[in-house]
Structure 1
Amino acid sequence: MRDNRDIPIPFNQEKVHLNEQEKEQLLKELMASYSQKVFLLAYSFVQDHGMAEDISQEVFIKCYQNLNQYRGEASLSTWLYRITANTSKDVLRKNKLAILMQPWQFFEPSKRSESPEVSYLKQDQREEVLQSIFSLPIKYREILILYYFHEQKVEEIAVSLAINSNTVRTRLVRGRERLKRVLTSQIGE
């Protein structure tokens, strides 16, 4: 997977200068590189497979429509994550949806070199951790998902979610503490 810094984009601080063919090519590259991550982030908000797919499609449509507004102040991945977070929050506000089962297979494919038993045990552990993350309030969940699953830095998360970097740090610490308590209580059961 290519890093968005490798995707050449002609821009100045006012806007990107791309013709329709260049926009389509860039969109294809962004979708190839980020579609799964956009889906996962959307899913972390809505916890519904179909809804997350719809949000992912909407994110890339918005990306295409607004690509000429991208100023290069943040990386393309950060820009996409911000669109995803905002779109997901809009959907949550509009639908007030219920939490459904998690499609764990999208988070991390199992390794083929492992025995089926080892692969199953690892998958089971990942599911328990992810279930615990999804039990947290969204303000902690979104930070943990972006930090650990999308490997974003604190500053990138701050830009993605349009919040202060100190708020990100605080929520990251508190989210870890809450996650630890949830996991510890599950071990005690």
Structure 2
Amino acid sequence: MVKKVIHTNEEIDITSEDKEMLIEQLMDLYTEKVYLLAYSFVKDRGIAEDISQEVFLKAYRYINNFRGEASLKSWIYRITVNTSMDFLKKKSMKQLLIENSFFESFNRTESAETSYLETDRNEHLLQIIITLPMKYRAVIVLHYFYDLTINELSTILNIKTNTVKTRLSRGRDMLRRKIEAKKGDVFSG
């Protein structure tokens, strides 16, 4: 029996014996997002590239173990988060930093002035997000920047859905308080 995984309009045969072709398809679908997710943890382009390569090597190595209980997207993101977290643990890095380019693709048709103001607000917001403890930053980034659901976050982070909900709620509260403490500068303009 052949299992199929649908991602947007792409169909990937996860039982294919041609693992090279399968990984090539996965890389076509997820390379940029995996890189940006890794970069959001390590804030170093070279390291994020290394982590991205390692993610796809792990996917290649363990694709036969993929059970299809979660989406392929969630599986790839979980590998990325785990690999990034392993790197952070090894290097004792404590800050999650987010690349400003997350926002570059959001509004490409805006005027230069509008785009500049939006980028400026986003940079202020990013500076505030960076100050959150890692467990709150991770759920905020994955939920709001990657549009992952509570269930997907639960799978990726290997925590209960109620824990995800609690961290999202607390993370939003912390953000709100920090924004208010800065007198709303982030959203004025």
Q: Displacement of 1:149 after TM fit?
A: 0.9
Correspondent of 2:7 among 4, 28, 36: 4
Confirm or deny that 1:115 pairs with 2:96.
Answer: no
Q: 1:53 — aligned with what?
A: 49
Change (3 A) 1:130 1:78: same
Describe the superposition over 1:117-152 as per-residue Cα deviations: whole angstroms up to 9, x where unpaired: 111111111111122112111100110111111111
Alpha-carbon separation, structure 2, partners of 1:73 and 1:38:
20
Pick which of 52-61 and 101-110 moved more: 101-110
CA deviation after TM superposition for structure 1 residue 5, in Å: 6.1
Show the counterpart of 1:13: none
Counterparts in 2 of 1:137 and 1:71: CA distance versus 1, 3 Å: same
CA contact (8 A) 2:139 2:167 kept: yes
Matched, 1:97 2:93: yes
Residues paired across the two proteins, number? 180
Picking from 17, 21, 24, the partner of 2:15 is: 17
Given that residues 34 and 80 in structure 2 are in contact (C-alpha distance below 8 angstroms), is that contact kept between their aligned partners in structure 1? yes
Measured after TM superposition, the shift of residue 111 of structure 1 is 3.5
**SS of the residue aligned with 2:64?**
helix
8 Å Cα contact 1:78-1:156 kept in structure 2: yes
Q: Which runs of 4+ in 1 moved over 6 A?
A: none
Are 1:27 and 1:60, in contact at CA under 8 Å, matched by a contact in 2?
yes
Helix, strand or coil at the partner of 1:109: coil
Quick one: which amino acid aligns to residue 7 of structure 2? N
Show the 5 A alignment for 1:21-170.
23-97=19-93, 103-109=99-105, 111-170=107-166
1:18-70: per-residue Cα shift (whole Å, max 9, x none)?
Answer: 212xx223322222222222122222322323222211111111111111111
Q: For the aligned residues, what is the CA RMSD?
A: 2.2
Structure 2: stretches of 5+ with no match in the other structure:
1-5
- Relative contact order: is structure 1 or structure 2 higher (C-alpha 8 Å, sep ≥ 6)? 1
Give the letter for the 1:138 counterpart. M
Query: d(CA) in 2 for partners of 1:89 and 1:44?
Result: 11
CA–CA distance in structure 1, aligned partners of residues 112 and 147 of structure 2: 28
Q: Specify every segment of 5 or more residues in structure 1 that has no aligned partner in the other structure, as ranges.
A: 11-15
* Aligned-residue identity in percent: 48
How high is the TM-score relative to the length of structure 1? Answer: 0.84
More strand by share: 2
> How many angstroms apart in 1 are the aligned matches of 2:28 and 2:17?
20
CA 1:107–1:43 in 2, change beyond 3 Å: closer, same or farther? farther
Q: Displacement of 1:158 after TM fit?
A: 0.2
